[in-house]
C-alpha cells in the first residue's frame, strides 16, 4: 500500500511536469546522466504496467462509456472555451511582455512582430476562428525563424495542433467561417480531424518534453529539484533511496509514454484524465504564472475528455453536423 500511495503522489509531481525551462536558465545547469539500477528498472516496469492496464481496460470496454465513447458531441461548448482561452492567452502574453512562453525572448527589433501576431489572434477571433488558427500557425513559423529551435521545439506541437484544430473547427462555430471555409474544411475531416489533431499534437509535445527536457538533459530537472527539493514527494514520504535522479527518470519516462499513448490513440480518456489532474495540481502549487502557461492545456483536455476516440475501442461516431 505504501508503494501505491507513493506512486500516486509521485504522479502529481508539480512543476516538473511543466516546462522546466520556465524555472531554470537553459545555459545555467550542470550536465548529468541517469544511472541504471534496480529502482530505475522497477520504475520502467511500473509505468509500462499502467499503460498496458489502461489500454486493456479501454480495449475491453470494462468501464463502458467512461473510457470509450465520446460524449457532449452535440455541443461546441468546449470548442468555444478554447477560442476564448487562446485569445486571452495571447492578450496576457502581450500584457506581460512575453512571446508564447517566459523562456522565449525576442530581440528588441523583433518584439513588435510578436506583439502584432499575438494581438492579431485575439482580434481576428471575434469574427473568424479559422483565420485565427492560421495566425497561430504563423506564430509557430515565426518562432521557429526568430528563436533557437532547441527552445521552440517544446512549444511547436501545441501551437500547430491548436492552430490546425481551430482552422478545422471554425466553420462549425463561426458563421463567417461557415460561409467562407466550409467547402475546404469539411472534406478534410472537420470536427473529428480537429479532435485527432489536438490529441496527436498534445501527445507529441509531451513526448518531446519528456525526452528533451528530462531524459536527454536531466541536468535541467536536477537543477530545478536542487532549487525546490520538496517537489520530490517520494523522499518526503521517507523513501530516501528514491533520489532526484530517479525522480527525473520517473517524470520523463511518464511524460514520454503517456504522450506516445495519446499519439497512438490508446486509452485516451484515462490518459487525458490523469494529465488534467496533474496540471490542476501543478497550477494550484506553482501559482498564477503557471496558470497562464497551462490555460491552453486545460481547454484541450476538456475537448479530448469529451470527444477523443480510442483507436482500439468500439466507439460511437462523433456528430459533426452543425
Residue 1 inside a domain? The answer is: no
Summarised one tens digit per residue, pLDDT across range 165-198 is 999 999 999 999 999 998 888 888 889 999 999 9
| Residue that wins the pLDDT comparison between 209 and 12 | 209
Write down the pLDDT at residue 68. Answer: 66
Residue 321 inside a domain? The answer is: no
Per-chain mean pLDDT for the chain? 80
Write down the pLDDT at residue 202. Answer: 92
Tell me if 121 sits within 8 A of 87, measured CB to CB: yes
pLDDT surpasses 80 at 204 = yes
Mean pLDDT, to the nearest integer, of 281-303? 71
| Residue that wins the pLDDT comparison between 13 and 130 | 130
Q: Which of 7-16, 72-81, 288-297 has the lowest mean pLDDT?
A: 7-16
> What percent helix, strand, coil does the chain show, rounded to 5?
75, 0, 25
Tell me if 225 sits within 8 A of 247, measured CB to CB: yes
Got the DSSP string for 53-87? HHHHHHHHTTTGGGTSS---TT--HHHHHHHHHHH
Residue 287 inside a domain? The answer is: yes
| Residue that wins the pLDDT comparison between 6 and 254 | 254
Q: How confident is the model at residue 156 (pLDDT cuts 50, 70, 90)?
A: very high
Summarised one tens digit per residue, pLDDT across range 224-274 is 777 777 677 677 677 778 888 888 888 888 889 999 999 988 888 888 887
Place of cell 536527454: 216
| Residue that wins the pLDDT comparison between 264 and 221 | 264
Three-state SS at 101: strand
Number of domains in the chain: 1
Write down the pLDDT at residue 3. Answer: 37
Q: Give dist(CA 195, CA 199) in Å, integer.
A: 6
Contacts of 46 (CB under 8 A, 6+ apart): 7
Highest-scoring range by mean pLDDT, 14-28, 63-77, 87-101, 159-173: 159-173
pLDDT surpasses 60 at 113 = yes
Percent of the chain with pLDDT over 90: 31
Residue 256 inside a domain? The answer is: yes
Q: What's this model's pTM, rounded to 2 decimal places?
A: 0.81
Side-chain half-sphere CA neighbours of 249 within 13 A:
21
Write down the pLDDT at residue 29. Answer: 60
CA dihedral 292, 216, 273, 247 (to 10 degrees): -100
Q: How confident is the model at residue 129 (pLDDT cuts 50, 70, 90)?
A: very high
Residue 312 inside a domain? The answer is: no
Residue 51 lies in domain: 18-307
Measured at the alpha carbon of residue 260, what is the angle toward residues 254 and 261, in degrees to the nearest 5?
A: 90
Q: How confident is the model at residue 320 (pLDDT cuts 50, 70, 90)?
A: very low
Amino acid at each position: 500500500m505504501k508503494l501505491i500511495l507513493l506512486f500516486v503522489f509521485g504522479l502529481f509531481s508539480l512543476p516538473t511536469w511543466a516546462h522546466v525551462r520556465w524555472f531554470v536558465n537553459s545555459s545555467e545547469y550542470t550536465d548529468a546522466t541517469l544511472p541504471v539500477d534496480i529502482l530505475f528498472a522497477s520504475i520502467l516496469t511500473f509505468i509500462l504496467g499502467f499503460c498496458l492496464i489502461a489500454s486493456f481496460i479501454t480495449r475491453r470496454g470494462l468501464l463502458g462509456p467512461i473510457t470509450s465513447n465520446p460524449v457532449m458531441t452535440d455541443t461546441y461548448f468546449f470548442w468555444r472555451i478554447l477560442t476564448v482561452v487562446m485569445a486571452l492567452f495571447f492578450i496576457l502574453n502581450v500584457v506581460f511582455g512575453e512571446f508564447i512562453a517566459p523562456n522565449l525572448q525576442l530581440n528588441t527589433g523583433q518584439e513588435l512582430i510578436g506583439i502584432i501576431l499575438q494581438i492579431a489572434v485575439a482580434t481576428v477571433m471575434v469574427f473568424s476562428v479559422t483565420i485565427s488558427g492560421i495566425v497561430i500557425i504563423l506564430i509557430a513559423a515565426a518562432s521557429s525563424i526568430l528563436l533557437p529551435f532547441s527552445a521552440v521545439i517544446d512549444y511547436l506541437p501545441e501551437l500547430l495542433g491548436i492552430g490546425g484544430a481551430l482552422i478545422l473547427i471554425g466553420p462549425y462555430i463561426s458563421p463567417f467561417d461557415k460561409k467562407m471555409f466550409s467547402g475546404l474544411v469539411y472534406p478534410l475531416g472537420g470536427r473529428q480531424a480537429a479532435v485527432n489533431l489536438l490529441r496527436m499534437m498534445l501527445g507529441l509535445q509531451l513526448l518531446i518534453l519528456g525526452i528533451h527536457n528530462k531524459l536527454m538533459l536531466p541536468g535541467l530537472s536536477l537543477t530545478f529539484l536542487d532549487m525546490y527539493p520538496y517537489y520530490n514527494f517520494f523522499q518526503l514520504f521517507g523513501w530516501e533511496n528514491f533520489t532526484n535522479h530517479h525522480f527525473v527518470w520517473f517524470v520523463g519516462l511518464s511524460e514520454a509514454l503517456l504522450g506516445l499513448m495519446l499519439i497512438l490513440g490508446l486509452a485516451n480518456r484515462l490518459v487525458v484524465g490523469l494529465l488534467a489532474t496533474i496540471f490542476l495540481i501543478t497550477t494550484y502549487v506553482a501559482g498564477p504564472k503557471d496558470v497562464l502557461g497551462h490555460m491552453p492545456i486545460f481547454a484541450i483536455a476538456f475537448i479530448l475528455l469529451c470527444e477523443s476516440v480510442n483507436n482500439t475501442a468500439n466507439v460511437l461516431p462523433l456528430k459533426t453536423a452543425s
